[in-house]
């Protein structure tokens, strides 16, 4: 069970094995480091020389350290924040761009917005893969115990086969977890129980019940499949990728399903444990989508064999109980963000096997890219947030296997990859400490995970 100091030692050991000639581990007084954390390189560095490998370690706040690791082997520059959870001083929570289901926002802007609502963010990192056009994230997403998106399978056009991708979760007791979580939701009314196939998301090829909440917006989706015919080329005339065509096909199928969906409005009564209580509000089921979502309620939408359940509830009314969990977990989730794929499991590198485990492709998994990641220590007492700079002469990025090795050397027991490339962003105490690879700088992303002061 590695202590905070052992995590630092593992970091220095990694550089020592590589033959580093310079290692700086100066630690400023904790009370004096409330400004900008130090970087171990500047963006004007032309190339990394053999003699320049080093580590800087700064205390951002009691129990939170920031390390900038410059390793000549890649060369790589790795930014790592370690958060000690033992004394309950800090909590984790997700954040959705602009506080809505759709849209994109920079991590630094999310942090500023959280601060205006009375939250106190210290560290933030970009999280899930997302649709560049509308910002919708691919995996399950939970913020402060509320489901923003719930899916049985990951909503991604890029994987080689359908599956649930790896996600990072914090349960209601504050315990961190990494696994390939799937939504396990139920709608219970009268003497009938049916599974939820999605929350604020209708899968393309699966009939069943979907719960739409205010997170989704003011109305459920309408059938627009006939108004958005598939096109093989974009507006510039360039051929569209297979992933783009797959995504369009899935959207059309999902949209078309709403044409025959029966929908009723629910008024929220409250919560009992992990169960949300609703009462049927209207006496007629609407079809075709576009049903208004009340600000203190939800809409239950049924297709296929569940349509008759919704229509019956429209006539009989009554209470509807909704439960939603992550897989077989018995504790409701407080915060969830997704990624792709798992890097370490039980201290073993599984990042090199993501092609077969989670359907990644070599151009993503084996190529070197800027990366973001989350890791957990064996005793669950320390969480690391890490970003590897890439697409620069002094830091070329990492493959998933290389990133897994680096995190394990730093003490990770479990670890997962987040969205990377131009999305990779690590915000620490008011400053983006890494060097985002987009020419315009920090990218607007779909969601993020934050470390917040809880006391």
Residue 426 CA, chain-centre distance (Å), reads 14
Residue at token pair 């409005």? 265
| Whole-number pLDDT of residue 13 | 47
Please give the Cα distance from 365 to 374 (Å, whole number): 17
Q: What is the mean pLDDT of residues 72-91?
A: 94
| Residue 393 or 328, more confident | 393
Mean pLDDT taken over the chain: 87
**Sign of the dihedral through C-alpha 114, 116, 117, 119:** positive
3-state secondary structure of 259: helix
Is the per-residue pLDDT at 1 higher than 70?
no
Please give the Cα distance from 74 to 352 (Å, whole number): 17
Is the CB of residue 392 less than 8 Å from the CB of residue 75?
A: no
Is the per-residue pLDDT at 104 higher than 80?
yes
Q: How far is CA 9 from CA 5, 25, 59, 271, in A?
A: 6, 10, 16, 46
| Residue 43 or 122, more confident | 122
| Whole-number pLDDT of residue 42 | 86
| Whole-number pLDDT of residue 274 | 83
Q: Where are the domains of the chain?
A: 4-181+332-453, 183-326
| Whole-number pLDDT of residue 28 | 35
**pLDDT tens column, 390-426:** 999 999 999 999 999 999 999 999 999 999 999 999 9
pTM over 0.85: yes
**pLDDT tens column, 384-399:** 999 999 999 999 999 9
DSSP codes joined into one string, 311-376: HHHHHH--EEEEEEEETT-SSPEEEEEE-S-EEEETTEE-GGGHHHHH---HHHHTS-B-EEEEEE
Is the CB of residue 358 less than 8 Å from the CB of residue 341?
A: yes
**pLDDT tens column, 4-49:** 444 434 444 444 334 333 333 333 333 334 556 888 888 888 776 6
**pLDDT tens column, 169-193:** 999 999 999 999 999 999 999 889 9
Is the CB of residue 278 less than 8 Å from the CB of residue 313?
A: no
Number of residues written out for the chain: 455
| Whole-number pLDDT of residue 204 | 82
Provide the token pair at 305.
């064999």
Instruction: Give the lowest-confidence range in 115-119, 364-368, 398-402, 441-445.
Output: 115-119
């Amino acid at each position: 069970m590695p202590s905070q100091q052992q995590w630092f030692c593992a970091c220095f050991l990694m550089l020592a094995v590589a033959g580093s000639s310079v290692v700086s581990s100066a630690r400023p007084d904790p009370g004096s480091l409330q400004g900008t954390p130090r970087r171990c390189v500047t963006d004007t560095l032309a190339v990394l020389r053999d003699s320049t490998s080093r580590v800087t370690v700064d205390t951002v706040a009691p129990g939170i350290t920031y390390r900038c690791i410059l390793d000549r082997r890649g060369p790589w520059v790795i930014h790592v924040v370690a958060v000690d959870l033992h004394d309950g001083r800090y909590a984790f929570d997700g954040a959705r761009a602009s506080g809505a289901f759709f849209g994109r926002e920079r991590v630094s802007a999310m942090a500023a917005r959280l601060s205006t609502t009375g939250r106190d963010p210290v560290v933030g990192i970009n999280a899930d893969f997302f649709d560049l056009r509308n910002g919708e994230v691919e995996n399950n997403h939970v913020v402060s115990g509320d489901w923003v998106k719930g899916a049985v399978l990951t909503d991604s056009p890029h994987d080689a086969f359908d599956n649930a991708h790896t996600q990072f979760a914090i349960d209601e007791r504050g315990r961190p977890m990494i696994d390939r979580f799937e939504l396990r939701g139920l709608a219970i009314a009268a003497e009938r129980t049916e599974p939820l196939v999605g929350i604020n998301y209708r899968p393309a090829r699966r009939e069943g019940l979907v719960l739409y909440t205010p997170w989704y917006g003011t109305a459920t989706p309408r059938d627009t499949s006939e108004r958005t015919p598939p096109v093989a080329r974009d507006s510039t005339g360039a051929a569209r990728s297979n992933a783009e065509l797959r995504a369009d096909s899935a959207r059309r199928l999902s949209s078309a399903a709403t044409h025959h969906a029966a929908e009723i409005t629910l008024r929220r009564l409250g919560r009992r444990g992990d169960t949300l209580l609703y009462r049927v509000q209207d006496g007629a089921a609407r079809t075709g989508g576009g049903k208004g979502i009340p600000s203190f309620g939800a809409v239950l939408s049924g297709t296929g064999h569940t349509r008759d359940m919704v229509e019956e509830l429209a006539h009989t009314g009554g209470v509807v109980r909704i439960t939603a969990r992550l897989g077989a977990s018995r504790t409701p989730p407080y915060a969830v963000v997704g990624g792709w794929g798992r890097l370490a499991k039980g201290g073993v590198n599984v990042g090199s096997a993501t092609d077969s485990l989670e359907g990644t492709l070599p151009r993503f998994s084996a190529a070197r890219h800027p990366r973001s990641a989350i890791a957990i220590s064996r005793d669950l007492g320390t969480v690391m947030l890490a970003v590897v700079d890439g697409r620069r002469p002094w830091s070329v990025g990492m493959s998933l296997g290389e990133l897994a090795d680096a995190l394990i050397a730093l003490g990770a027991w479990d670890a997962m990859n987040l969205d990377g490339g131009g999305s990779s962003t690590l915000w620490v105490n008011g400053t983006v400490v890494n060097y985002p690879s987009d020419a315009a700088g920090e990218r607007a992303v779909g969601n993020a995970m934050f470390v917040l002061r809880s006391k």
